[in-house]
Amino acid sequence: MVKPRTTGWRIKLSADFRGEVLAELTRNGLVESIHTGHLIMLNADGTVYKIKGSVDMPIFPRSTVKCMQASAMVRSGLKLEPRLLALVASSHSGAKMHQDAVLEILSSVGLNESDLQCAFDKPLGEAERIAWGEKAATRLAMNCSGKHAGMLATCVANGWDIKTYLNADHPLQVAVLNEIEALASTTVANKTFDGCGAPLFAMTTRELAKAIHEITISNDHVHLEVMNATRAFPEMVAGPGRLTTRTMQSVPGLFMKEGAEAVEVASLSDGRTLVFKISDGSWRAFGAIMHAALLEWGITTTEEAFNVYGGANIVGGMRAVL
């Protein structure tokens, strides 16, 4: 019989996991809610600028590593125009332009929607989900379908089995793991599967920041191809109206990618890097934290509306605590 954990262990785990306060929601001057987590900012040369929370505690980076997965595909022979390559590195909104682009990738190698093995889902974008209505979820609409289409196209280019492309020991997934470990300078110990069904690898927030910094400043033609594609087509990386796309469009040279359970990465072309993980899994503080971090880098953006209302009156707001 497995013995229960001690109370002391639970308290320590809880404290480590919570991290530090990264954002506060206020109403009439009173802090009504907080979002805690872990944050690291790196200077252009890769040295640490700021740390909050436990950045050496392992997390699952979720979709924030899609630029690394895309790099492994390109290194393995995937050849796509930049617009479609940006989609491979995306968590797209599920708009018609995104779904059509996924089909374009698949048809280019003689495949179709039925070959996708990502989870069934409705569109991620709010407007797209509302427009979708009560229709059944599909693999094509799922926000990771671009990545899966890229994986399938890479398999076809190499003559690899397309039925087992999500297996952890498949040549494609071995290439992905090698790419991630090289960029993060780590050896992954905790391996599982993401919500879309693809292999997922744990790393610390510090290691994730190192990987994003490395891929941002790299002169490797593969990394340049992937990162340039995402910066050139931010509407493919997320979708019109979403924070990622809006912020990338407003800040030249910015790369930004969100992941499930409130993980966020961002970098400027000179190498300055931001990574944070919100402990409660909520994305609602992302805009405030991004805006504050960009201000610390001397970049002024159109401020997001982080207001709290009492009827029609503004009585508070969300503010970052960096």
pLDDT at 93 over 70: yes
Provide the percentage of residues in the chain whose pLDDT is more than 70. Answer: 95
Pick the CATH number of 7-320 from 1.10.10, 3.40.50, 3.40.710, 3.40.1350: 3.40.710
Least confident residue range of 1-15, 148-162, 174-188: 1-15
Average pLDDT, the chain: 95
pLDDT at 3: 53
Please write the tens of the pLDDT for every residue from 7-26.
Answer: 554 545 577 889 999 999 99
CA dihedral 282, 264, 85, 267 (to 10 degrees): 160
pLDDT at 4 over 90: no
Backbone phi and psi for residue 225, each to the nearest 5 degrees, phi listed first = -65, -45
CB atoms within 10 A of CB 237: 27
pLDDT at 303: 60
Least confident residue range of 9-13, 190-194, 213-217, 254-258: 9-13
User: Which amino acid makes up residue 283?
Assistant: W
> For residue 194, what pLDDT band results from cuts at 50, 70 and 90?
very high
Mean pLDDT, to the nearest integer, of 229-244?
98
